[in-house]
Amino acid sequence: MIVTVTLNAAIDRTLTVPNFQRGQRHRASAGVTLAGGKGINVARALKTLGVPVVATGLVGGATGTRIVEELTAEAILNDFVRIEGESRTSTAVVDPAGGTYTEINEWGPAVGEAELEILLDKLRYLTQGAELVVFAGSLPRDVADDFYAEAARELTRRHVPVVLDTEGEPLRLGVEVEPFLVSPNQAEAEALVGQEFHDDEDFRLALDQIAEMGPRNVLITTEDGCVALLREERDSRESRSFRAVAPQVEPVSTVGSGDALLAAYLAARHAGRTHEESLRSAVATGAASTLEIGAGRFDPRHAGRLQAGVALSALDAVEA
């Protein structure tokens, strides 16, 4: 069983509006409403891949009730903590004609210390026997930047592997706890190491630098796939670095493709597949998810067909 944790869950409403223009009245040609938030997106993808998963986190108000109802309708096991504040709603407009995506996100509710403690208690219960815990997404208002780090520290002491997908200070503090895997996107990784990446050597050095901060494995999602540093043991001196590039597709929406990619990598490793096989599956699934509207949604058959087109190569050190 994999447990996903979403502290800033949302109702995601995505509208398809061809030729969208600011300041004009439009009619949507289609609309999709889903429970959202990065941890929920990962749970949705894991469930599609047949991996046992339970989604937890914080929800509040009528929107929180809707989040739970939407997850239940998708047959995604869930066990959320109810909070006093109102969960957020996110609205997105996809323009297939112009190839643009416009997103408006609410800040989300403030969360009290007592509510966080209830969540930690629930995590202690849900993670008994869990194979992996995924913390993903932003932190709500008034939650300390070290929340993920402290929760991960406790789980690591109990020998529960932790995956962390967040940004900014919560990511910087989280990597120091030596999680099993961190999975920032390129912009988040650049902010973590303090420089932009322009070529494979920049990516390779960044993977090494992030790995030295603590995590056993590093997976950075990029616009065309991912780069990764992977090793069998945290203290192993031997690691392997890869670049995986997705085949060309005509995307409908790229939102949540990184969440689907991460879920597919975890699912493949959960099934005992090799690093190379896992990365091919991950990148193909991420590409397949861009063919549908709705974060974490994809057709496994499309992902399977795309795997053969994934270009996988080693990221080797450049000799002077």
- Please list the active-site residues: 259
Please give the Cα distance from 171 to 173 (Å, whole number).
5
The three-state (H, E, C) secondary structure of 76-98, written as one string: CCECCEEECCCCEEEEEEEECCC
- A 10 A CB-CB count for 201 gives 13
Tokens 């690093």 sit at which residue?
275
Whole-angstrom CA distances from 185 to 1, 13, 258 are: 25, 23, 8
Enter the tokens of residue 163: 């995956």
Tokens 């929406």 sit at which residue?
253
Please give the Cα distance from 105 to 319 (Å, whole number).
46
Closest CA relative to residue 180, chosen from 232, 120, 241, 112: 232
Closest CA relative to residue 294, chosen from 250, 257, 263: 257
Whole-angstrom CA distances from 280 to 180, 274, 307, 308 are: 20, 10, 6, 8
